[in-house]
Amino acid sequence: MKKIALALVVAILFMLGGLAAGAYAQTIWTHTAVKTASAKITDGRGYFGGIIITTDGTNNVTVDVRDATTAGTGTKLIPTTVILANERVKSISAPQFYWKGVYVTVTTSGATEYVVYYEKR
């Protein structure tokens, strides 16, 4: 009887461990098309995975990513970041849960491109 109970406990723990591991394994990030200006990325709730920003090599780019659907509102998902022109490409990976959506504000005197990774829930 003790062996059956032990086997049952081990089987339950194995199943729970597998379910927990499966939850992480099934995360599939969606990404935007290449963006060149401030934009609403998505609405509703989900996970912000990160952003990849490129500069034109001459001008700095300031990026503000918020849990919002309009510019300047909501809470910041990452601190406002300045990408120096000579960095050319910057990747910021900061998984954060958002409730309202994701809005990215980019400010530069030149050109910039970015792609946002997120998962809707």
Domain spans of the chain?
29-120
Asked whether the CA dihedral 27, 34, 91, 46 is positive or negative, the reply is negative
pLDDT by position in tens, the chain (length 121):
444 544 444 444 444 444 444 444 456 788 999 999 999 999 999 999 999 999 999 999 999 999 999 998 999 999 999 999 999 999 998 889 999 999 999 999 999 999 999 999 8
CATH (residue range 29-120): 2.60.120
- Write the CB contacts of 72 (distance below 8 Å, at least 6 apart in sequence): 66, 105
Tell me the whole-structure pTM to 2 decimals: 0.77
